[in-house]
Protein backbone atom coordinates (compact mmCIF):
# COMPACT_ATOMS: atom_id res chain seq x y z
CA UNK A 1 0.00 0.00 0.00
CA UNK A 2 2.84 2.40 0.76
CA UNK A 3 4.99 1.48 -2.26
CA UNK A 4 3.54 4.24 -4.50
CA UNK A 5 4.51 6.74 -1.78
CA UNK A 6 8.19 5.86 -2.14
CA UNK A 7 7.97 6.88 -5.79
CA UNK A 8 6.34 10.14 -4.76
CA UNK A 9 9.09 10.77 -2.21
CA UNK A 10 11.63 10.54 -5.02
CA UNK A 11 10.01 13.60 -6.54
CA UNK A 12 9.92 15.72 -3.40
CA UNK A 13 12.18 18.20 -5.09
CA UNK A 14 9.34 18.76 -7.56
CA UNK A 15 6.29 20.73 -6.73
CA UNK A 16 1.80 23.53 -8.29
CA UNK A 17 -0.47 25.21 -11.17
CA UNK A 18 -1.90 23.98 -14.43
CA UNK A 19 -4.52 22.72 -16.81
CA UNK A 20 -5.83 19.29 -17.67
CA UNK A 21 -4.76 17.91 -21.08
CA UNK A 22 -7.11 15.52 -22.87
CA UNK A 23 -4.50 12.75 -23.28
CA UNK A 24 -1.82 11.43 -20.91
CA UNK A 25 1.53 13.20 -21.05
CA UNK A 26 4.42 11.21 -22.47
CA UNK A 27 7.51 10.60 -20.34
CA UNK A 28 9.52 12.87 -22.65
CA UNK A 29 6.95 15.68 -22.31
CA UNK A 30 7.03 15.40 -18.52
CA UNK A 31 10.85 15.33 -18.45
CA UNK A 32 10.96 18.44 -20.66
CA UNK A 33 8.45 20.23 -18.42
CA UNK A 34 10.33 19.18 -15.26
CA UNK A 35 13.47 20.65 -16.83
CA UNK A 36 11.92 24.08 -16.35
CA UNK A 37 12.10 23.69 -12.57
CA UNK A 38 15.17 24.91 -10.67
CA UNK A 39 17.60 22.03 -10.29
CA UNK A 40 18.08 21.07 -6.67
CA UNK A 41 21.40 21.99 -5.09
CA UNK A 42 23.51 19.04 -3.90
CA UNK A 43 23.60 18.51 -0.14
CA UNK A 44 21.88 17.03 2.89
CA UNK A 45 18.08 17.39 2.92
CA UNK A 46 15.43 16.78 5.54
CA UNK A 47 11.83 16.05 4.71
CA UNK A 48 8.95 16.50 7.14
CA UNK A 49 5.65 14.81 6.36
CA UNK A 50 2.34 15.94 7.83
CA UNK A 51 -0.52 13.46 7.51
CA UNK A 52 -3.70 15.45 6.94
CA UNK A 53 -6.11 12.58 6.25
CA UNK A 54 -5.85 8.82 6.20
CA UNK A 55 -8.93 6.67 5.85
CA UNK A 56 -9.97 3.19 4.81
CA UNK A 57 -13.76 3.42 5.08
CA UNK A 58 -14.30 -0.36 5.15
CA UNK A 59 -11.78 -1.04 7.94
CA UNK A 60 -13.11 -1.84 11.44
CA UNK A 61 -12.54 1.14 13.81
CA UNK A 62 -9.83 -0.59 15.90
CA UNK A 63 -7.79 -1.51 12.82
CA UNK A 64 -8.33 1.96 11.35
CA UNK A 65 -6.94 3.50 14.55
CA UNK A 66 -3.89 1.20 14.36
CA UNK A 67 -3.25 2.23 10.75
CA UNK A 68 -3.63 5.93 11.58
CA UNK A 69 -1.23 5.49 14.51
CA UNK A 70 1.32 3.78 12.27
CA UNK A 71 1.01 6.56 9.69
CA UNK A 72 1.31 9.15 12.46
CA UNK A 73 4.60 7.61 13.59
CA UNK A 74 5.92 7.79 10.04
CA UNK A 75 5.07 11.48 9.83
CA UNK A 76 6.72 12.23 13.18
CA UNK A 77 10.09 11.11 11.79
CA UNK A 78 12.18 13.54 9.78
CA UNK A 79 13.54 11.75 6.76
CA UNK A 80 17.07 12.76 5.83
CA UNK A 81 18.84 12.05 2.57
CA UNK A 82 21.92 13.15 0.69
CA UNK A 83 21.56 14.48 -2.84
CA UNK A 84 24.95 14.04 -4.48
CA UNK A 85 26.36 16.39 -7.09
CA UNK A 86 25.95 13.68 -9.76
CA UNK A 87 22.28 13.18 -8.82
CA UNK A 88 21.62 16.93 -8.83
CA UNK A 89 23.21 17.27 -12.31
CA UNK A 90 20.81 14.64 -13.70
CA UNK A 91 17.85 16.84 -12.84
CA UNK A 92 14.48 15.13 -12.57
CA UNK A 93 14.68 12.61 -15.40
CA UNK A 94 15.35 9.57 -13.19
CA UNK A 95 12.58 10.51 -10.76
CA UNK A 96 10.03 10.99 -13.56
CA UNK A 97 10.99 7.65 -15.13
CA UNK A 98 10.67 5.89 -11.75
CA UNK A 99 7.22 7.37 -11.22
CA UNK A 100 5.93 6.28 -14.63
CA UNK A 101 7.41 2.81 -14.27
CA UNK A 102 5.69 2.47 -10.93
CA UNK A 103 6.49 -0.10 -8.30
CA UNK A 104 4.87 -3.39 -7.45
CA UNK A 105 3.83 -4.04 -11.06
CA UNK A 106 2.03 -0.69 -11.27
CA UNK A 107 1.80 1.03 -14.68
CA UNK A 108 1.56 4.81 -14.25
CA UNK A 109 0.84 7.76 -16.55
CA UNK A 110 0.79 11.50 -15.96
CA UNK A 111 -2.54 13.01 -16.95
CA UNK A 112 -1.16 16.42 -16.02
CA UNK A 113 2.30 17.83 -15.33
CA UNK A 114 2.37 21.60 -15.55
CA UNK A 115 5.20 23.86 -14.42
CA UNK A 116 4.79 27.61 -13.92
CA UNK A 117 7.90 29.20 -12.45
CA UNK A 118 8.59 27.35 -9.20
CA UNK A 119 5.13 25.78 -9.09
CA UNK A 120 4.04 22.33 -10.18
CA UNK A 121 0.60 20.81 -10.65
CA UNK A 122 0.63 17.09 -11.49
CA UNK A 123 -1.80 14.20 -11.64
CA UNK A 124 -0.69 10.57 -11.93
CA UNK A 125 -2.90 7.53 -12.52
CA UNK A 126 -1.58 4.02 -11.89
CA UNK A 127 -3.06 0.63 -12.72
CA UNK A 128 -1.83 -2.62 -11.26
CA UNK A 129 -2.49 -6.29 -10.70
CA UNK A 130 -5.88 -7.54 -9.51
CA UNK A 131 -7.65 -4.37 -10.68
CA UNK A 132 -5.75 -2.04 -8.34
CA UNK A 133 -5.80 1.64 -9.29
CA UNK A 134 -4.24 4.69 -7.68
CA UNK A 135 -4.91 8.33 -8.47
CA UNK A 136 -2.40 10.86 -7.10
CA UNK A 137 -2.30 14.62 -7.34
CA UNK A 138 0.75 16.67 -6.41
CA UNK A 139 0.93 20.43 -6.12
CA UNK A 140 3.21 22.88 -4.44
CA UNK A 141 6.31 24.97 -4.87
CA UNK A 142 9.96 24.17 -5.36
CA UNK A 143 13.30 25.90 -5.44
CA UNK A 144 16.97 24.99 -5.53
CA UNK A 145 17.08 24.31 -1.76
CA UNK A 146 13.52 23.56 -0.66
CA UNK A 147 10.12 22.32 -1.71
CA UNK A 148 6.65 22.18 -0.25
CA UNK A 149 4.21 19.71 -1.74
CA UNK A 150 0.62 18.72 -1.09
CA UNK A 151 -0.32 15.19 -2.15
CA UNK A 152 -3.61 13.37 -2.27
CA UNK A 153 -3.96 9.71 -3.16
CA UNK A 154 -6.97 7.47 -3.63
CA UNK A 155 -6.14 3.81 -4.05
CA UNK A 156 -8.84 1.32 -5.03
CA UNK A 157 -8.62 -2.47 -5.00
CA UNK A 158 -10.80 -5.43 -4.08
CA UNK A 159 -8.21 -6.45 -1.44
CA UNK A 160 -8.68 -3.16 0.49
CA UNK A 161 -11.49 -3.37 3.06
CA UNK A 162 -14.35 -1.36 1.59
CA UNK A 163 -12.43 -1.20 -1.67
CA UNK A 164 -10.72 2.16 -1.11
CA UNK A 165 -7.97 3.96 0.82
CA UNK A 166 -7.60 7.75 0.91
CA UNK A 167 -4.56 9.71 2.01
CA UNK A 168 -3.72 13.39 2.05
CA UNK A 169 -0.39 14.75 3.22
CA UNK A 170 1.91 17.74 3.09
CA UNK A 171 5.64 17.23 2.56
CA UNK A 172 8.26 19.91 3.16
CA UNK A 173 11.86 19.31 2.18
CA UNK A 174 14.79 21.64 2.77
CA UNK A 175 18.53 21.61 2.32
CA UNK A 176 20.23 21.65 5.73
CA UNK A 177 23.90 21.63 4.68
CA UNK A 178 26.50 19.47 3.06
CA UNK A 179 26.08 15.69 2.85
CA UNK A 180 26.93 13.89 6.09
CA UNK A 181 28.16 10.63 4.56
CA UNK A 182 31.82 10.27 3.63
CA UNK A 183 31.08 8.79 0.19
CA UNK A 184 28.74 11.55 -1.00
Within a domain: residue 182?
no
Q: What's the total number of domains in the chain?
A: 1
Please, are residues 140 and 8 in contact by the beta-carbon 8 Å criterion? no
pLDDT at 22 over 60: no
* Residue 36 or 172, more confident: 172
d(CA 157, CA 174): 34
Segment 153-169 shows an average pLDDT of: 92
Say if 183 falls within a structural domain: no
4 vs 96, higher pLDDT: 96
**Full domain range(s) for residue 96:** 3-177
Largest CA distance in the chain: 48
85 within domain boundaries: yes
140 is a domain residue: yes
The answer as to whether 24 is a domain residue is yes
Is the pLDDT reported for residue 19 higher than 90? no
Asked if residue 184 belongs to a domain, the reply is no
Work out the average pLDDT over 141-152.
94
Q: Is residue 60 assigned to a domain?
A: yes
Buried/exposed code over 118-145 (b: 16+ C-beta within 10 A; e: otherwise): bbbbbbbebebeeebebebbbbbbbbee
Residue 150 CA to residue 160 CA, distance in Å, equals 24
- Is 70 within a domain? yes
- pLDDT exceeds cutoff 60 at 8: no
Amino acid sequence: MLRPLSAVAAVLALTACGSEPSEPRTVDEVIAEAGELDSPRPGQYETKVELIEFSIPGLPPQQADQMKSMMGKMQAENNAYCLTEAEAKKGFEDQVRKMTQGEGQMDCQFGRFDVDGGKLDAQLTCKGPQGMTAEMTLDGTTGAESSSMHMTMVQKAAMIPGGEMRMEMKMDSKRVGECLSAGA
